[in-house]
A and B are shown apart, each in its own frame.
Chain A
Amino acid sequence: MSLWNWITETQVWRSIFRHKYPDNPRDQSLAVLSNVFLHLHPIKVKKSGVRMSFTWCMGGITFFLFLVETITGILLMFYYRPTVEWAFNDIKALRELAPLGIMRELHRWGAHLMVITVWLHMLRVFLTGSYKPPREFNWNVGVILLVLTLLLSFTGYLLPWDQLAVWAITVGTNMARATPFLGHEGPGASLLALGDVQIVTAGSDVRFALLSGTLVGPAALLRFYVLHCIAIPLAAGLLMAIHFWRVRKDGGISGPL
């Protein structure tokens, strides 16, 4: 214990942590209050709300997985070029050349796991009726997060540029062709015409906007890459900040009124 005492007495330690070991109410409060990460939490919580059997910890795990994905994703970006010439070879090289080559595995399995945990989180929020007032809005933030999680996973699926990737994305994005009015094979699209000139064609419909082309090609790869690494994570991060803030503003984890 003397080493511990010595460390915690140093000026360096005390400049970081402005409280003693949290074994008494005052320091327990300070530990949470004076730490930028922990202060997401209130100082005290309902006993019913911290029960693992109540929340299943699924929101927390989802958030943790999002962080894992961010870190492993940044590492992967060092090795990956989103062009048709390089994408596949970079992924292959990653497996063969990169030391401790499980980054890709961590990233991929973490992503799958995140899809599962976000569903389970929604399931528990539903089953505890936690979408009811005053949490309607936060439920809605959650639904958008759910969609973003799926889109993150979907856009990432293309990046290895192998058969699995390209055809899964082809099958998925083919749906957009059939969007009513906006897809060139959707009902109503043929009604949108200026005289004889069709407005919605294979070269101008929503699928084209999504892929930046009529098939899953180089432009689609770049587009999905940017969406996957920048646009969607930023949006999801922002919404998570709102989500967590609202959990507290709505009175913390739900419980009987």
Chain B
Amino acid sequence: MQYFEYVKYIIDGYILGPVTFFFLSVVGLAFMFVFRSWWTKGSVALTVLIGSTIFTFLSMSDPDFAAIVKKPDNIPIIIMLGSIGFCLWIAFRKMVINDQLIEKGLPTLEEQEVRKRVFCWPDLVYAEFLMLLLVTIFLLWWAIVIKAPLEEPAAASKTPNPSKAPWYFLGLQEMLVYYDPWLAGVIFPGMIVNGLMALPYFDLNPKGNGYYTFKERPFAIVTFLFGFIILWVLLILLGTFLRGPNWSFFGMYEYWDVHKLEALTNVNLSELFWNHLLEKPLPTNILLREAPGFILVIGYMAALPPLLANTIFRKIYVQIGFWRFNIMINLFLMMAALPIKMLLRWVFNLKYIVGIPEWFFNI
């Protein structure tokens, strides 16, 4: 227990911060991909499971941590984490096994059974019935043990601090740190939905249809999981557990102090360019003032695609053709825009690449 106090101290004092949280997550994901045949072993997975359970229990002894985690509406997030972890474990395990089988020229796990037909009764209906029972029992237990929250009656004058959206949207709310609402709250969610819908029409890789495999479609899986795990799930965690009053960052075991203020010394690209680089005052003409930003953004969205098509994405470009490639690369660059802006913020304190508050047009 005492030792755990040191652990807490180190985690909060030296490790956790928005930057390290993000980097550790990315490193963790990369680790998952590279060492997939190691961590999917039963023994390793079991160790991780036991380790993280012990860690959670120890952490629950901390009143500040427990206060946030035990909020009734945050409990689903813990359940989500556990179930995503478990499901990814199953999936990666099958991927590893199948990739080995494919390498040896043998049929995959699914292929061995796909031509075997079984009667729905009992094979499928019994399984369904069993799941139905399990979910019912679990839900009843949850409903009995934990009361649904009901706070004070609504009062338009009493704004809570922090005010948070429902947990499943907290990734989007976390994006507001880096992008204005028109992007983080409207364009990006729209792009996520559009991107998901368009996915089957630009991923023309015929392999990996109906069975688990990593080696036959690494780009698709890495991109999708980066989006889902890092940019969606982990940002939800960050937004829920590590963001307190005024959306300031708080460590896992830190008290949510309303008076904690983070210095905001962010600067716009226009200021960096005109004031610092050219040592001139900002031009009064808005378009001239923001020209560097516009050039960067247009370059990113318009000049980068042909460049990528001729270099690292050449194979994909040849495979899927001009139109599909353009749709895909646009979605891809939009998605990459979030981590890029994060980096720019952390490294240069950059606020806006294009900043025209006069027109509500800030990027």
Contacts and interface: CB of A to CB of B under 8 A. Distances in A.
A47 B139 contact: no
B73 to A, nearest CB: 7
A123 B142 contact: no
Contacts of B281: none
Contacts of B212: 127-128
A256 B108 contact: yes
Contacts of B228: 119, 123
Contacts of A178: 180-182, 185-186, 360
Nearest to A115: B168
Contacts of B105: none
Nearest to A182: B186
Interface majority SS (helix, strand, loop, mixed), chain A = helix
Interface string A166-184: 1110111011111110010
A109 B146 contact: yes
Interface residues on A, range: 35 or more
Contact of B206 (A92, A127, A132, A172): A132
Contact of A139 (B90, B135, B186, B199): B199
Given A129-B209, A143-B197, A255-B210, A163 B160 contact: yes
Contact of B360 (A129, A153, A167, A189): A189
B123 A38 contact: no
A91 B154 CA distance: 13
| Residue with the greatest number of chain A CB neighbours at <10 A, chosen from B73, B117, B182 | B182
B276 to A, nearest CB: 26
A51 B159 CA distance: 50
Interface residues on B, range: 35 or more
A28 interface: yes
Interface string A55-72: 011101100110010000
Contacts of A237: none
B109 interface: yes
Contact of A172 (B87, B149, B169, B211): B169
Interface stretch (A1-9, A10-18, A98-106, A225-233): A98-106
A162 B151 CA distance: 5
Given A127-B212, A132-B209, A171-B165, A50 B123 contact: yes
A108 B148 contact: yes
Given A160-B150, A165-B154, A255 B76 contact: no
A82 interface: no
Contact of A129 (B147, B150, B152, B208): B208
Nearest to B112: A48
Contact of B153 (A22, A44, A88, A133): A88
Given A29-B119, A47-B114, A256-B114, A163 B155 contact: yes
Contacts, number: 282
B263 interface: no
A95 B87 contact: no
A216 to B, nearest CB: 8
Interface stretch (B32-40, B42-50, B124-132, B322-330): B124-132
A45 interface: yes
A187 B361 contact: yes
A53 B160 contact: no
B79 interface: yes
Interface of B: 73, 76, 79-80, 83-84, 87-88, 90-91, 94-95, 107-125, 127-128, 131-132, 135-136, 139-140, 142-144, 146-156, 158-160, 163-166, 168-169, 172-173, 180-182, 184-187, 193, 196-197, 199-201, 203, 205-213, 217, 221, 224, 228, 359-361
Given A46-B115, A60-B131, A131-B203, 19 more contacts: A32-B120, A41-B120, A42-B120, A45-B117, A48-B110, A48-B211, A51-B113, A91-B150, A105-B147, A109-B139, A116-B76, A116-B79, A127-B91, A129-B209, A130-B210, A139-B200, A171-B165, A256-B110, A257-B210
24 contacts: A45-B123, A48-B111, A48-B114, A50-B127, A92-B150, A95-B150, A106-B140, A109-B143, A120-B83, A129-B213, A130-B210, A131-B203, A132-B206, A132-B210, A136-B201, A140-B200, A153-B166, A163-B153, A164-B149, A164-B151, A172-B165, A178-B181, A180-B186, A186-B360
